[in-house]
Amino acid sequence: MPQREPRWLELARADLGVKEIPGPLHAEKVLEYFREVGRPDITNDETAWCGASIGAWLKRAGEVILPPDKVLGSRNWERWGVPLTGPRFGAIGVKYRAGGSPKDWTGHVGIIVAANATTIWMISGNSGNRVSIAAYKRAEFTAYRWSKDTPITALPLPTSLAAAGGVTEA
């Protein structure tokens, strides 16, 4: 039987296009991510939500996630699951913020869908204030992680977004 992509990636793809609502209204789907990861105290979509979206997709897939007091910090995902030596299709990727440094506490977290020598493409929440697939500099990545409870996929890692069969929503 052919191997399927990780369930958390399927769930993320289903949410492509979810976006914040500018102004005093807030996107219910983004608020749902916060509730799903144990943070019902967050009631706006202006709070950084990349960690919440990753946590929600993983939790829906039956995976153990970071505790509520850690789940929102993108760089906290550097300690989730098990480490990988490099990017893998469906792995959780963690990076420092563009223009920042590896020592900064700020960053971004997403699910890797393609990579080459200079670029990694991830699907993530709060990328351009929406769930989208975007390209990031490979040099900015600090960790690649996989669930402790799910076998690592043997699916090949495409070398471009086009090869991954995706289009950017950024």
Give every CB contact of residue 55 below 8 A, 6+ residues apart in sequence: 33, 36, 37, 65, 66, 71
Helix extents (H) in the chain: 7-14, 28-36, 50-60
Query: Could you tell me the pTM of the whole model?
Result: 0.94
- In three-state secondary structure terms, 99 is coil
Domains of the chain, with CATH numbers?
7-146 (3.90.1720)
Tens of pLDDT, residues 18-33: 999 999 999 999 999 9
pLDDT tens digits for 60-114?
999 999 999 999 999 999 999 999 999 999 999 999 988 888 888 889 999 999 9
